Amino acid sequence: MRGGDLTNGATGRIEITDLGMVFGRNSRTVEAVRRFTLMTTPGEFVALLGPSGCGKTTVLNAVAGFVIPTVGRIVVDGEIITQPGADRGMVFQQHSLFPWKTVLGNVEFGLKMRGVGKKERKSQAHAYLSLVGLTGFEHAYPRELSGGMQQRVGIARALVNRPRVLLMDEPFGALDAQTRLTMQELLLGVWREVRTTVLFVTHDIDEALFLADRVAVMTGRPGQIRDLVEVKFTRPRAAEIIATPAFMVLKARVLAQVREESARTLSGPRP
Amino acid sequence: MATAPNVGMVPFVGAPAAQAEAPALLRLAGWRRPALRVLSIGLFFAAWHVATTWDVDFYVRFQNIPTPAEVLEEAVALFGSAAFYVHILASLERIWLGFAIATTLGVGMGLLIGWFRFAEDTLFPPIELFRPIPAVAWVPLSIMLWPTERSSIVFITTLGAFFPIVLNTIHGVEGIDRQLVRAATSLGAGRLAIFREVVIPGALPSIVTGLSVGMGVSWLCLISAEMISGQFGIGYFTWVAYGIVKYSQIVVGMLVIGVLGMLSSALIRLVGARCMPWLPRRVRDAT
């Protein structure tokens, strides 16, 4: 049905090689990320999981092009990343919609930037709004929507550009537990349709394991990959899998690592 | 078009809030409060009437102050004469010109100063230098600078409105959420598009506040300048009325200034609200 016109083909290969990120100047520097290497295959769903302050958002911002790597390089489909671009869609944690634009205006934004005509913009925006279940809210302003609905607009707004990769920075972190679960299921449904590569930052173990094909567990700062966990549950996944024994086994393994890293971050010397 | 998986069952949380039915007490207050406000104004006029007809002299002296009835009579006479409109129109033209120039310069420079470091370094220092000088203090120099009375008064009016407009615009630009700028760049916006789509609308609420304040200040400056150096205008009219012992005309002049000032502020608020439909009503009214 829709699959044909929304998918992006086999693009979205992210190659992060020996990424190092150092912030600050002179003696007051903070090393956020060190020797971080990660490759994704096109259409893969990868979660970056780690304690807060471990540099996972920094990695995401570097792929987005918001920050420039201190060392190492990031390549998406053969192109070295030097600046932000519409080929890498970003969904922020919250409050990233343009408050002065309606839902439709927000979703159309990327198309408008590409010079797509008004009529075509509208019809494409409608398709993506329907994909995230927001038909009928085109003319609402962001402040009139709940947090979950705002995030759906954010997802539609990024996807309308048909990005090679979708970058998500704790997109459901500010939502209540029930809405978060609903949004996770919605995201999987949307992803099954668009089949773009997803790099998903979270500190929620259940979320990472429920959504992703692979979970990259990160160390405390400076962030490195500590473990790459393959999550082999069949798709489509239902929320119930998080209560299965197989899920628990994986969760126990990841939890032990995350706890260890959190403890190390708290007790360790100042970076 | 088919619904995406899982989407159909999703309940819409927090749809645009339904208007709650107002409790009975509030509905009663709905007409009681305006009534109280009208009563309050009525009491003011009553006090004015009593003080002036009884010629109250209690440190503050009311002997020479016209009664409300005298003022009303004078107003009727003045609005019947063409000469009075010449003064009003002269003032309105100066306000309109001065405010339009101040808006153009203030918003334009404010956007540049707020967004571009080079503009901040080159344009902002002189603004900081001249800002502490009240516009009225410019009157003598302005008379020397400008060839006509009209242009020198417009200059003063512009100067008064300019500072609040430029400063509020800068403030608005500096307050723009950087995440929105990032969002725009990741959606393919270039530098010009960011300026047009994010910086300008993001600064708009603050700009409208600046215009509102600027309008008040420009009236203040206009009336002061007209009183000092004018040959026309409602400020000049009010000052001359004092000189020729037409005390009722002073009060009519004051009231006209008040009403015009109020109307021009209301106009700014109306235009501001029209330009910013995304703001909740109470926020729009507050600017």
Report chain B residues whose CB lies below 8 A from the CB of A192: 5
Query: Going residue by residue through chain B (287 aa), what tens digit of pLDDT does each one get?
Result: 344 444 333 334 344 444 445 555 555 567 888 999 999 999 999 999 999 999 999 899 998 899 999 999 999 999 999 999 999 999 999 999 999 999 999 999 999 999 999 999 999 999 999 999 999 899 999 999 999 999 999 999 999 999 999 999 999 999 999 999 999 999 999 999 999 999 999 999 999 999 999 999 999 999 999 998 878 999 999 999 999 989 999 999 999 999 999 999 999 999 999 999 998 876 655 55
Residue A158 has pLDDT above 70, yes or no: yes
DSSP letter assigned to residue B63: T
Cross-sheet strand order for the sheet of A28-39? A28-39, A14-25, A71-76, A79-80
Q: Is B262 a domain residue?
A: yes
Secondary structure of A148-201 in HEC code, one letter for each residue: HHHHHHHHHHHHCCCCCEEEEECCCCCCCHHHHHHHHHHHHHHHHHHCCEEEEE
Report chain B residues whose CB lies below 8 A from the CB of A169: none
Report chain A residues whose CB lies below 8 A from the CB of B198: 98
Report chain A residues whose CB lies below 8 A from the CB of B189: 109, 113
pLDDT computed for residue B10 by the predictor: 38
pLDDT computed for residue A39 by the predictor: 95
Query: Exposed/middle/buried for B32, CB within 10 Å: 0-12, 13-18, 19+?
Result: exposed
- B69-73 CB contacts, 8 Å cutoff, 24+ apart: B70/B248, B71/B248, B71/B251, B71/B252, B71/B255, B73/B248
Q: CB distance from B13 to chain A under 8 Å?
A: yes
- Write the residue in B15, B188, B278 that is nearest to A99 by C-beta: B278
- Write the residue in B7, B185, B197 that is nearest to A133 by C-beta: B7
- Write the residue in B4, B13, B179 that is nearest to A189 by C-beta: B4
Across the interface, do B10 and A182 touch by the CB < 8 Å criterion? yes
Q: CB distance from A139 to chain B under 8 Å?
A: no
Q: How many domains does chain B have?
A: 1
**Which residue range forms the structural domain that includes residue B228?**
59-286
Across the interface, do B187 and A149 touch by the CB < 8 Å criterion? no
Across the interface, do A109 and B187 touch by the CB < 8 Å criterion? yes
- Write the residue in A86, A146, A236 that is nearest to B188 by C-beta: A86
Place of tokens 């903070």: A30
pLDDT averaged over every residue in chain A = 91
Q: Which residue of A has its CA nearest to B15?
A: A145
Q: Whose CA is closest to A68, among A15, A23, A13, A17?
A: A23
Report chain A residues whose CB lies below 8 A from the CB of B188: 85-86, 110, 113-114, 161
Distance from CA of B9 to the nearest CA of A (A): 9
Condensed to tens digits (0 to 9), the pLDDT of residues A259-268 reads 998 888 776 6
Residue A269 has pLDDT above 90, yes or no: no
**Domains of chain A, each with CATH number or no CATH:** 12-87+165-252 (3.40.50.300), 95-162 (no CATH)
- Which of the two residues, B280 and A184, has the higher pLDDT score? A184
Report chain B residues whose CB lies below 8 A from the CB of A130: 1, 3-4
Distance from CA of A90 to the nearest CA of B (A): 6
Q: Is B14 a domain residue?
A: no
* CA pair distance B283, B280, nearest whole angstrom: 6
Segment A39-59 mean pLDDT: 92
Q: Is B3 a domain residue?
A: no
In one-letter notation, the amino acid at residue A92 is F
Mutant choice from B180, B187, B194, B200 vs A, greatest count of A C-beta within 10 A: B187
pLDDT computed for residue A26 by the predictor: 77
Q: CB distance from B60 to chain A under 8 Å?
A: no
pLDDT computed for residue B31 by the predictor: 83
Q: How confident is the model at residue A25 (pLDDT cuts 50, 70, 90)?
A: confident
CA distances from B88 to A82, B85, B91, B167, B256 (A): 61, 5, 5, 30, 8
Q: Which helix (H) or strand (E) holds A71?
A: strand A71-76
Distance from CA of A86 to the nearest CA of B (A): 5
∠ CA A51-A53-A54, nearest 5°, is 65
Mutant choice from A6, A63, A87, A98 vs B, greatest count of B C-beta within 10 A: A98
Segment 67-96 of chain A within 8 Å of chain B by CB: 83-86, 88-90, 92, 95-96
Q: Is B13 a domain residue?
A: no
ipTM of the complex model? 0.91
Condensed to tens digits (0 to 9), the pLDDT of residues A225-255 reads 999 999 999 988 988 898 999 999 999 999 9
Across the interface, do B189 and A114 touch by the CB < 8 Å criterion? no
Place of tokens 């004469």: B81
Q: Cis link prior to A236 (omega < 30° from 0)?
A: yes
Q: Is B77 a domain residue?
A: yes
Domain containing residue B105: CATH number: 1.10.3720.10
Q: Is B153 a domain residue?
A: yes
pLDDT computed for residue B285 by the predictor: 58
